[in-house]
Amino acid sequence: MYVVLYTIIIKPNQEDNFIEAWKGLTNLIYKYEGSLGSRLHKKDALNFFAYAQWPDKNTFDNASGNLPEEANHFRNKMKASCETFEVLEQFEMIEDLLKNKQSE
């Protein structure tokens, strides 16, 4: 599995817009580009952290050409709500010990 970490600073009073756009774009990337999804975390009022999971680096590197036009709406909304949205790190996962409460 391949993991991409993001750091995000949103503009004041834009949290709801950012989260809505992030969820919409993440769902499209999952559906059309083969990602395994993403998680979003909040550090404080304006600072967020996200990580996206991919089956492998090749799938991540080749993603971008399959999204529908609707993705541009979410991208534009995210850009308008963010001061910065940057890739912090990229990693190959070697072990996964997170537990899924629903599958226990």
Domains of the chain, earliest start first: 2-93 (3.30.70.100)
Positions of the chain with pLDDT under 50: none
pLDDT of residue 104: 53
Question: Which spans in 4-94 are helix H?
Answer: 15-33, 57-61, 70-81
pTM of the predicted model over 0.85: yes
Two tokens, residue 70: 């609707």
Q: What's the pLDDT at 96? A: 86
Exposure letters 52-89 (e unless 16+ CB within 10 A, then b)? bbbeeeeebeebeeebeeebeebeebbeebbeebeeee
